[in-house]
Amino acid sequence: MANGDSSGAPRKWWQRLFMYPTLITALIGSIPTAQRFYQSWQIQVPTSEVDHAVAQDDFWRRNLDCLAGKSYEPVTTSGDVRISALVCPSGDVLVRVKPPDPKTGEVAKWIGLKEFVGRSRGAWLFGSEAMAAEAQPKTVVAQAGRTVICQRWIANGLLRMRVRYDTGQCADEDINTYTGVVVKTVPAPCDTTC
């Protein structure tokens, strides 16, 4: 009986797996979920926000050259919230929001033209007019507010922007490109090398 087991039970662990196809299917099906959990942990956002965070990082990378040397002036709402926007030649718009509470950090988020245009016919008409206007010669208008002097990647998902404020002072802003949160702002020289 040592060599010939009459019960017909499998001898190896991997042979048992063939007896349980539901278990194998469940294990294979959990691979994408495990990948999403890992990606969520890696970029430090909730699992439900991974796709949005990756898309925001793609916007920062795609429009990085657009931000250099651009100025935009914030508008202050009646609730003392400062909002500013910068439109890039791609049609993507960077919106920055600074709440009145000094403990709450500034947030910068992208709104993509392609995503906006794809949602409705009316939006497409607006987008096609914007793209047609883009083909016209560009006029640069000087604005007060803040001007991006230079920028560089300091880590995956972390962008350092040196900005000059309308007061003439400069600062380095470290922005998490997945969440749009301005992680740190420190005074810096008004030098064009980050």
Name the band, by pLDDT with cuts 50, 70 and 90, for residue 133. Answer: very low
| Separation CA 109–CA 180 (nearest Å) | 5
Length of the chain: 194
Flag whether pLDDT at 125 surpasses 60.
no
Question: Per-residue pLDDT averaged across 88-114, rounded?
Answer: 88
- Structure-token pair, residue 123: 């939006």
Flag whether pLDDT at 168 surpasses 60.
yes
Laid out side by side, the sheet with 93-98 consists of: 75-76, 82-87, 93-98, 107-111
Whether this prediction's pTM lies above 0.75 is answered by: no
Flag whether pLDDT at 130 surpasses 50.
no
User: Looking at residue 52, what is its pLDDT?
Assistant: 83
User: Looking at residue 50, what is its pLDDT?
Assistant: 85
pLDDT single digits (tens) 1-44 = 455 555 665 567 776 666 677 766 777 777 777 777 888 888 88
| Separation CA 109–CA 179 (nearest Å) | 8
| Separation CA 114–CA 59 (nearest Å) | 11
